Amino acid sequence: MIADSTGRDAGRRARPARATRRAGAWTHDGDIDPLTRMCRFGAEALMKTVDRYRLTFTHPGPDARMVTDEVVVERTSAHGPGGHPVYSDPTGILRAEISPAGEVRMLASGAYQSPINPAAEPLS
């Protein structure tokens, strides 16, 4: 037997990791660290998600003063490119992917948009 640096048989193929649901909780089968490599749905099951955020946009106004706009967005059933929930305003024009850490990624919902990233505040 030839062992690798982890002490396992180097000739044996590693079993692929997969997430399974047992008794309402997500568990992992395989040789992965569940804290750093969770599947998207398993990570959401462990984190408390916020249903509404207030997004605050700050931009220069016509007379060089800063103007602040606030929009309340609600969670949708969609997930963004980063795997986090997508939030939308009632019109559906403003869409943002917001991570549990509060990082905001604005998503274009139509042509000719160049959205800026706002500050996000969770609402209860």
Picking from 86, 50, 52, 43, the residue whose alpha carbon sits closest to that of residue 70 is 52
Task: Give the tens place of pLDDT for each residue, 56-94.
Answer: 999 888 888 889 999 999 999 999 999 999 999 999 999
Residue 39 confidence (pLDDT) above 90: no
12 found inside a domain: no
Provide the domain count of the chain.
2
C-alpha 97/C-alpha 109 separation (Å) is 12
Q: Is 46 helix (H, G, I), strand (E, B) or coil?
A: helix
Same domain for 116 and 61: yes
Question: Phi first, then psi: what are they for 41, rounded to 5°?
Answer: -70, -35
What global pTM score does this model have? 0.60
Distance linking the first and last C-alpha atoms of the chain: 58
At residue 31, the pLDDT reads 42
Q: How confident is the model at residue 106 (pLDDT cuts 50, 70, 90)?
A: very high
Q: Which residues on neighbouring strands pair with residue 106, listed in sequence order?
A: 96
Q: What range does the domain containing 26 cover?
A: 17-47
